[in-house]
Amino acid sequence: MGITSLPKLASLDLSESLTNLMLFYLESLASLDLSKNFELRDLDINDLPELDSLDLSNNSELGVLRLNNLPKLHSLNLSNNFEFTWFEITDSPALDTLVLSGIIKTLNLVNLESLESLDLSECLGLINLYIWNLPKFNSLTLPDELDFLSTVHLYKNQLGIVMLIEILEKLPDRIGINYQECKIYDNPGLVGLTDPDLSLYNTAKAQAEANGWSVEDRL
């Protein structure tokens, strides 16, 4: 089901049996409660300039989530969700807190100007992790079990060298399984203060490469 280009629509009361929902260019919609839509499997929300809260709790069937260009979104309730094959939030500068748990296979976070940290310790099954252009982002906690992880992209964040070392040290041994890549670009951090000659970082990088990872960096 798709709803698009209704600039005066201020509220939505949707069928609880929806399985797919696309919302585009609803310029007056400020909040959305989908906590009773138990059969929702695919949700795509784009260009809702006034949306500031979104309740997706209890959507245990929701597998694909795309939230794009939601400039006022600051509250996102994801409690009691179970498994995402694709989880994406982009161009939502007001979102400063994100609590995730359950199974997330691909996590894609792009242009979230207020998000400073992310705790993925309760997430399972992570395969692909993309964190791009989060200018305040300085802390990432990965789960202990990363048996399926194959792609890590960290672009233009504020992850310090100590945090980058911790991430490299957590990359699992994937020798002989598939091609694994870790790209770390433009994460300035505190290189000059905590690891001036990058010796600790380079040791962690060498170990990751010995474990079957291709590591590209530009700090």
Contact present, 95 and 116 (Cβ < 8 Å): no
H/E stretch holding 200: helix 199-210
**Secondary structure of 132-192 in the HEC alphabet?**
ECCCCCCEEECCCCCCCCCEEEEECCCCCHHHHHHHHHHCCCCCCCCCEEEEEECCCCCHH
**What is the end-to-end Cα distance of the chain in Å, rounded?**
44
Contact present, 111 and 89 (Cβ < 8 Å): no
Q: What is the pLDDT of residue 18?
A: 82
Q: What is the pLDDT of residue 15?
A: 67
184/148 same-domain check: yes
pLDDT band of residue 70 (cuts 50, 70, 90) is very high
Of 46, 78, 110, which residue is a domain's last?
Answer: 78
171/100 same-domain check: yes
101/21 same-domain check: no
59/166 same-domain check: no
Q: Which of 207, 215, 211 is nearest to 147 (CA)?
A: 211
Least confident of 34-48, 157-171, 174-188: 174-188
Q: How far apart are CA 160 and CA 116, in angstroms?
A: 12
126/192 same-domain check: yes
**For residue 35, is pLDDT > 90?**
no
114/197 same-domain check: yes
pLDDT band of residue 22 (cuts 50, 70, 90) is very high
55/153 same-domain check: no
Of 28, 43, 78, which residue is a domain's last?
Answer: 78
Question: Which tokens hold the place of 217?
Answer: 């960096």
178 compared with 42, residue with greater pLDDT: 42
Q: How far apart are CA 103 and CA 86, in angstroms?
A: 10
**Total count of domains within the chain:** 2
Residue at 72 is within a domain: yes
**For residue 178, is pLDDT > 70?**
yes
Q: How far apart are CA 49 and CA 57, in angstroms?
A: 22
Q: Could you tell me the residue range of the domain that residue 20 belongs to?
A: 1-78
Phi-psi group of 40: left, alpha or beta (phi > 0 → left; psi -120 to 50 → alpha; rest → beta): beta
70/129 same-domain check: no
**For residue 71, is pLDDT > 90?**
yes
138/190 same-domain check: yes
Residue at 206 is within a domain: yes
User: Would you tell me how many other CB atoms lie within 10 Å of the CB of residue 11?
Assistant: 10
Residue at 83 is within a domain: no
Residue at 90 is within a domain: no
123/34 same-domain check: no
pLDDT, average across residues 140-169: 92
Q: What is the pLDDT of residue 208?
A: 96
Residue at 132 is within a domain: yes
Residue at 71 is within a domain: yes
Residue at 89 is within a domain: no
Least confident of 50-54, 145-149, 184-188: 184-188
Taking only the tens place, the pLDDT of each residue in 101-127 is 889 999 999 999 999 999 999 899 999
110/179 same-domain check: yes
57/144 same-domain check: no
pLDDT band of residue 190 (cuts 50, 70, 90) is low
Residue at 45 is within a domain: yes
Of 78, 104, 132, which residue is a domain's last?
Answer: 78
